[in-house]
Structure formats: structure tokens, C-alpha cells
Structure 1
Amino acid sequence: MEIFWFGTLAVLLIGYFALEGFDIGLGMLLPVLGRSRADRDRLVGAMAPFVLAGEVWLVALAGVLFGAFPALEGEVLSGLYPLVVSLLVAWILRDAGLWFRRRVDGPRSTAAWRSLWDWAVCLGSAGLALTWGMALVAMAHMAHMAHMATGMSGPLLDPLSAAGGVVVATAFCFHGWTFAAWRLPGDPAARGAVRTGWGLLLSACAAAAPAAVAVAFLASAIVGHAAPPETLSVLSVMVLPFAPILVGAQVWVWRTFSRGAVPTFF
């Protein structure tokens, strides 16, 4: 049962990086690819419908972590508290930018208002990518320190964790660039990117690779922090019936918004 829930946790984390990585990357690239207000509107409209669907994976990941690995959840929150807070702040800032950027109309106020929230999307997305990369490195460091019996504390900001943040941010930017080319095939913003579904799949694998490597490195530590078998069995009965709903919702979102006109209400 521990292996099953570890696999569930791994799928959710890797799936989040693959399905949310493109809109985080596109948010970082918004000032670069969106040279005009119309370009930025089109780019945000292309990726915004997928944001909530991608965030569902993160919510489900947190639920599995709390329910199936409560001891690990406590160690992550206490050991990575500054990074967890930074992640939440960046998440709120990015989402606020997406929902507020089109809420004011008027010839004088619209440009300044949208510019403000476009930068919120960009900075929030950069914060998400960098913090995720640093968190993966920090968790690997914590697991290594625990294995060496030298304590669970360690620096959260060092050259290695900074490099992890840069790697994740770069992978997400590549994924976002490829998504823009795939979703907006006639748009010159993502000129030079592969515009096929296979190209998007490749960039999704690149975005998910850091999470996959971290999960593989942390496998023994995660399994060792699993809840008792009785708890995992009850959790299976409560959670598994809702799995088809999660999958079905993801399929509906992609079938509805992956083709056709770009929504204009973002």
C-alpha cells in the first residue's frame, strides 16, 4: 500500500510540473513574447483556461501528502517554511494578475492597470518556478542529511539550490514557449518553436524531468514516512472513487480549450 501511495504522489507531482509548467513558463515570458497589449491578451487567453486544471494537481498533491505521508508533511513544512511561504505568495500574485488584468476598462486606466497585473503574472510565475526548483533541491538535501544522521537542517539558499531554481525556470520557459507555438500556430510570438503536439509533449517531459529526478532520489525517504497501513486503506476507500472525476475534468478542459478561438475574458 505504501508503494501505491508513493506512486500516486509521484504521478501528481510530475503531472503538475508537466501540466502547470507551460503556463508558469508562459507567464515568465509574457513581457518577451507579448510585445504589444494585444499580444499579451492573446497569450494570457491561450493559457489561462488551463491554470485551474493544472492547479488541481497541486491541491491533490497536498491532500495525498497530508493524508498518506503526515510525518513527511510536517518535516517539509517546518524545514522548508520560508520556501513554502514564498511559493504561496508567488502563487497568489500570479493568479491575482490573471484574474484582475481585465477587470478595469477605460482609455486612460486600462493600459496602466493591465501593465501592473501583467508584471504580477510575470513576477509571480518566476517566483513559482524558482521556488519549486529550490524546494526540490532542499528536499533532496534534507533526505541526504537524514540518511547521514547529521540532522535535517541545512541552507535553503546556496549555489546548488539556486541552480535548481534556474533549471526549473528554464524548463518551464521552454515548455511555455512551445505551448504558445502549439496553441497559437499563426502567431509570430513564438517564432522558431516546434508547433506540433509532439513538440509540446517533448517540452512537457522536459518540464517534468526535475520533479521526476527528485522523486526518484527521495523515493526511500518518502516511503519510509508513510502512514500506517490501516490509515492508507481507509484513505484509498475515500479517495479512489474521485480519481475518475479528476481525470475526466482534465480531459474536458483540454478538449474544450486546446483548439478553436482563444477566450477573450482573460
Structure 2
Amino acid sequence: MELNILWFVLITVLFTGYFFLEGFDFGVGTLLPFLGKDDAGRRLLINSIGPFWDGNEVWLITAGGAIFAAFPNWYATLFSGFYMALFLMLLALILRGVAFEFRSKDDRPAWRSLWDWMIFGGSLVPALLWGVAITNLLRGVPIAVNMQYAGTFWDLLSPYTLVGGLTTLFIFTLHGALFLTLKTSGQQLAGARRAASLAGFLAVPALLLLVVLSYSQTDLFEKTGAGVVFWGAVAALVLACGLLRAGKYALAFAMNGLAIVFSTVAVFWGLFPRVMVSSLNPDWSLTIYNASSSPYTLKIMTIVALTLVPVVLLYQGWNYWIFRQRVTLKDLEY
């Protein structure tokens, strides 16, 4: 396999892992003000993702670093063209991380409420913007012959990309609610189930609409495999909602995760060998060939990745295993 293709596949895997893992803690953060009826309830929800959220963000940092090193022209065009959107996302992620740390520094209700809403906003904004960003990559953005972004922030907003943003928001919210059905019990579990039912009711039509719109807004379905996988995401999401109603929470979480995986794979499959589509001229699109680093750089990166990535996977797997138990109110420290 050519190293250009290998690194495109690895970046696809990194984003897939990021959306699967960070998706549920985005969902928990978005649900925090609504499922946490009191301070103890909100602390319980935060504790459910406490050991995981910062480790999950490593997948994004690694994906961004991989793009920078393997496809520097992609990195430059993406971060210059999506500057404002990525700045808002970064600001939200910073506020979210700070909120997790600062919330417990003071017992005053107003103080804790402030940081709870920061967690909410810091989870909702990225969950929404990721859908907008990914659908823009697929639909195409104004890229000139010199690989420079030739549009404005408002060019990133369209009915199609907004549907993409709402789709990721609803699916991640469902993912978080299903995660809570596995990590909580009693009243908290009942609330998580109700939230999951509502999120699923919104997520299924949103994803279905996104798939249908993709026929006219993108060329994804010119690749039969990508189209099949995209429809497979819809089927997995519907199945997740059915399993939720049957009380099979673990399987429902797995199926919703599969919907996230299928959707991400379908998008990157539809892009290949492009990494950013030019809406001005298809010949001006960035590909894994005209946007890549030198073969020597890719070779060194491959050696480093094959050495270190297994270590990260083992560490994260161990972390999830150690903190696999449900979180209860009696586990909270007072």
C-alpha cells in the first residue's frame, strides 16, 4: 500500500475513534443541565465521563498532528478556510476543559451552575460544528488553483451543512444518553433512557435527511461502497433505537456507535482520494497526492506511528476496563 493511502486510512481511523469516543462525552455534557436535577446528580454525570473525556481528546490531537505532518497542504487550507469555525470549536473545548476542573473549587450554587453551563456549551458547540465541517469537506468549498481558500465563513453555512451539524449533535446526544444507561442506575438511569428516546427520535430523521440530501449535494454515491456504508449507518441507528426500547442498553450503545463509525467511514470513502473538494473547479481539489509530505517524511511517520499507537490503545483500553463500573451517588465524595 502506498504511504499516502496508508496515512489517509490512518487519519480516517483516528477521526472515527474520536467521534465514537468523544461523541458520548459530548452527549453527556449536552445533557448535563437537563438530567442533573441537583448538584449531586450533575456531579454523578460528570464523574461518569471524568476518567475518559481528556483521553478521548487525544484522538483529535493525534488526527490534527497526522494531517499536519502527512498532508501539510490539507492542514494549511483547512485551518485557514475553516479558521473561525475551528476557533469557536477550540474556544468551546478550552472552556469545557476548564469547567471540569474549576467546578469543584467552590461550593456556591451560582459558581457551580456557571461551570455546568460552560460544560453544556463546550459540548454542544463542537458536536454541532463537527457535522458542519465534515459535510463541507464532502460538499466542497471554494478552493482556488493555488490551494488557497477563496471564500468566507458564511460560505460554510448552507441547509445541507446545517443538517449535518444537527445530525452529529443528535447522534452524539443519543450516544451520551446510551452511555449513561450503562454507567448509572435508578432515577438517573430512567432519566437517561428518556433522554435517549428523545434524542433517537430526532437523530433518525436527521441522519436520513442527510443521506437523502447527499445524493444531490455531493458525489459520495458515485462510489457504491460508500453509499452502502452510509445507508448502513441509518440501519444501525434505527436498530439502536429498537434495542433501547427493548432495554438492551449495551447493544443499543454498540449499534449507535456503529452508526457513527459507518457515517465517518462513508464520508472519507466518498472523499478518497481527495481530502478537500473544490467547489470552483474539481481539478483544484486537494488530494492525498498534491497535499502530501515527501515519501521520506511519510516513512518516518509510519515507523513512529506503528511504535507508539499500540501503546496509546493499550493505555486507553486499560483505562476503560478499570473504570467500567456504574457510578452511584454513594461514590461521590462530600
* TM-score, normalised with respect to structure 2: 0.72
Deviates more, 1:222-231 or 1:184-193: 184-193
Aligned residues with identical type, % of pairs: 32
Is the Cα contact below 8 Å between 1:80 and 1:138 reproduced in 2? no
Q: Secondary structure at the match of 1:35?
A: coil
1:121 Cα deviation after fit? 0.4
Aligned residues: 261
Shift of 1:151: 7.9
Q: Is the 8 A contact 1:68 1:227 kept in 2?
A: yes
Alignment of 1:36-47 (within 5 A): 36-47=38-49
Residue 88 of structure 1 deviates from its aligned partner by: 0.3
Q: 1:191 Cα shift?
A: 2.8
Which structure 1 segments of 5+ residues have no match? Answer: none
Q: CA deviation at 1:86?
A: 1.0
Q: Counterpart in 2 of 1:159? A: 159
Structure 2 residue runs of 5 or longer lacking an equivalent are 197-243, 276-287
Select the residue among 201, 204, 228 that pairs with 2:254.
Answer: 201
- Residues 41, 150 of structure 1: alpha-carbon distance in 2 compared, 3 angstrom cutoff: closer
Give the TM-score taking structure 1 as reference length: 0.90
The alpha-carbon deviation at position 185 of structure 1 amounts to 3.7
Correspondence for 1:85:
87
CA RMSD in angstroms, aligned pairs only: 2.4
Q: Distance in 2 between matches of 1:203 and 1:48?
A: 21
CA contact (8 A) 2:143 2:150 kept: no
Tell me, yes or no, if structure 1 residue 232 matches structure 2 residue 234: no
Post-superposition CA distance 1:236-256 (Å, at most 9, x none): 123321111111111111001
**8 Å Cα contact 1:175/1:206 also seen in 2:** no
How far does residue 211 in structure 1 lie from its aligned partner after superposition? 2.7
Aligned letter for 2:43? D
CA–CA distance in structure 1, aligned partners of residues 262 and 150 of structure 2: 26
Distance in structure 2 (CA, Å) of the matches to 1:208 and 1:168: 12
> What is the match of residue 212 of structure 2?
none
Select the structure with the greater relative contact order (CA < 8 A; seq sep ≥ 6).
Answer: 1
Cα distance in 1 for residues equivalent to 2:327 and 2:88: 35
Q: Which moved more, 1:111-120 or 1:94-103?
A: 94-103
**Which deviates further from its counterpart, 172-181 or 230-239?**
230-239
The match for 1:133 among 131, 134, 137 is 131
Partner residue in 2 for 1:100: 102
Aligned to 1:116: 114
For 1:209-220, what aligned pairs fall within 5 Å after superposition?
A: 209-220=262-273
3-state SS of 2:273 partner? helix
Is 1:171 aligned to 2:171, yes or no? yes
> Is residue 138–residue 161 contact of structure 1 (8 Å, CA) maintained in 2?
yes
Q: Single out whichever of 5-14 and 93-102 deviates more from structure 2.
A: 93-102
Contact 1:142 1:153 in 2 (8 A): no
Deviation at 1:2, TM superposition (A): 1.2
Secondary structure, aligned partner of 1:101:
helix
